[in-house]
Amino acid sequence: MFKSFYIKPHERGMLFYRSKFEMFLLPGTHRRMGWHWQVKTFDLNQPQAQIDHLELLLQTHAHSMNEYFTVVRTVHNQAALVRLGQQWCTIGPNQLQAFWRGFIEVEVHLFNLDEGIDLPSQFVQRLRDVSLPDLNLVSIPESQLGMLYEQDNFVRPLASGEYGFWTCDRKVSITRYDRTRPDPDFTFVDVLVDDHPDFVTSHCEFVQLGNQEVAIVRHQGKVIRILPPCSRQLFWQGVAVEVIDISDDAKLSPTLVAELVAGVPEVLDLAYEALYILEVPAQHLGLLYEASAFVDTLSPGWHVWWTFGRAWKTEIVDLRLQTLEVSGQEILSKDKVSLRLNLTAGYRITDPVQAKAGLSNIEDYLYKELQFALRSAVGTKSLDQLLEDKGAIDASVSDYIREKTEQYGVAIASVGVKDIILPGEMKSILCQVVEAEKSAQANVIRRREETAATRSMLNTAKVMESNPVALRLKELEVLERIADKIEHIHVNGGLDSILTEMIRINGTRE
């Protein structure tokens, strides 16, 4: 009984008798007698042969296997790169693979992983667009720097270019850092500084600060970072680092104030948390405290300090003349009359340090003392005394408050009572009193004027009695007044008898 097998032109066959390999079959028809023959065919378009018991077959049929296969065997420290025509495949350590000969060109390259995990550049270029297992292909552009890590340990930097690395049974990663940014966010800066000084020296600017040092980092003339004390930081080479000792003086120079505070807003945002900023307006004085202890006075302008290790506090004191209103004070006079007074005081702080050291709140202190002074001045005088001499209140309050404030560096410029408001009934009574006083004064003046007029008339009569010329002048004056009121006067017999006749006529009519 014969059994036939047909092998196609693009196939190869493996002939088995009772599961025992006998030979390879080339394309064509093959016949064998018996039922125990079996053939396993392989498509040569798939050059990698998946053969069972390959290790055993290589031992028992080495000549036949080497004739038909390209065998690739790797040990624990090897990896293989195989080209199958236009395709590629990788073989990891401790692997055994067989590839058909003749139909597709097979090219095998072995690599010793103990010597390095890098793939030679000629293979990297040939595999540029290929993705293969156990092989990591990476491209680093000019704007970046790559850093190769193996098992999370830094190996070396990668300049711009194309690279390939074997990743067989190990963790290999590449981290890219943007070289256009001067402050890369390196992982484990301390490890790079301590264990890889060559990398730091060749690529980076290393900044390490003491506990009383601050650093300003600039790139292309612009501030990019402000580092606090005790910092360790890496930057790309090309940055400028200015280290400032703040142990003796934590105040910024005018040049730095102009750059960090009055410059571009981005720099102020960057430096804001590291600075204590105060602007003292004109006609004001600033007081600086550190840890609640007074340090210095501050003139008008910008003042900026580093905040690291400091507890700054400032106050601004207005040196201009200020006014304080003490309004609606209900006070009883000596004669028990309830008065409401409004007082205004003008004051100026002459010694801010003394004032702030002695008084917690200057305005509250002045208000209370003005209240006390006003009550003392009003309560010791009657209503009539207060109304007769209003300035006495001002003088009394002024003397009192000046004595109280002199020791605190506060100068009183003026004190004055603006209003004295009487109760409604008292207003009515005072109006009646004033009216009576004014009426009496009017009567006295009227009697005085009447007496003066009578005395003047008597003196005039005496003069005219003893002097006919004066009497004649008086007659002419009267005649002139009459002529002003009468259009025509006809005189007969002269002017001497005119007045006499007129008097006579007037007497007859009466």
Q: Residue 401 in contact with residue 365, Cβ under 8 Å?
A: no
Distance (Å, rounded) from C-alpha 509 to C-alpha 1? 196
The dihedral built from the CA positions of residue 100, 102, 107 and 111, taken in this order, carries a sign that is positive
Q: pLDDT at position 488, please?
A: 62
pTM above 0.95, yes or no: no
Angle, vertex CA 123, rays to CA 121 and CA 128, nearest 5:
95
Higher local confidence (pLDDT), 328 or 44: 44
Across the range 16-37, mean pLDDT stands at 90
Distance (Å, rounded) from C-alpha 462 to C-alpha 36? 189
Residue with structure tokens 């690291």?
308
**CATH-assigned architecture of domain 322-422:** 2-Layer Sandwich (3.30)
Task: Please state the domain extents for the chain.
Answer: 322-422, 423-458, 467-510
Q: pLDDT at position 428, please?
A: 58
Mean pLDDT of the chain: 86
Task: Mark 271-300 as b/e (b = at least 16 C-beta within 10 Å).
Answer: beeebbbbebeeebbbbbeeeeeeeeebee
Rounded to 10°, the helix 362-379/391-405 angle is 140
Distance (Å, rounded) from C-alpha 468 to C-alpha 477? 14
Q: Convert the pLDDT of each residue in 232-285 to its tens digit.
A: 999 999 999 999 999 988 999 999 999 999 888 889 898 889 999 999 999 999
Q: pLDDT at position 246, please?
A: 93
Distance (Å, rounded) from C-alpha 269 to C-alpha 260? 9
Q: Convert the pLDDT of each residue in 375-427 to its tens digit.
A: 888 877 777 777 777 778 888 888 889 988 888 999 999 998 887 777 655 55
pLDDT over 80 at 472, yes or no: no
Q: pLDDT at position 489, please?
A: 59
- Per-residue tokens: 450: 């009447």
- Per-residue tokens: 76: 């624990």
Exposed (0-12), middle (13-18) or buried (19+): which is 149, by Cβ within 10 Å? middle
DSSP 113: T
Across the range 45-51, mean pLDDT stands at 88
C-beta atoms surrounding 307 within 10 Å: 17
Exposed (0-12), middle (13-18) or buried (19+): which is 446, by Cβ within 10 Å? exposed
Across the range 454-459, mean pLDDT stands at 77
Which residues in 366-458 belong to E strands, given as ranges? 410-421
Least confident segment among 161-170, 257-266, 451-460, 468-477 = 468-477
Q: pLDDT at position 346, please?
A: 93
DSSP 185: -
Contacts with 226 (C-beta within 8 Å, 6 or more apart), sequence order:
214, 215, 216, 217, 270, 271, 274
Q: pLDDT at position 432, please?
A: 60
Q: Convert the pLDDT of each residue in 86-134 to its tens digit.
A: 889 999 999 999 999 888 888 999 999 999 899 999 999 999 888 999 9
Rounded to 10°, the helix 498-509/468-485 angle is 60
Contacts with 382 (C-beta within 8 Å, 6 or more apart), sequence order:
333, 334, 335, 337
Residue count of the chain, please give it. 510
- In 3D space, the residue among 162, 242, 157 whose CA is nearest the CA of residue 203 turns out to be 157
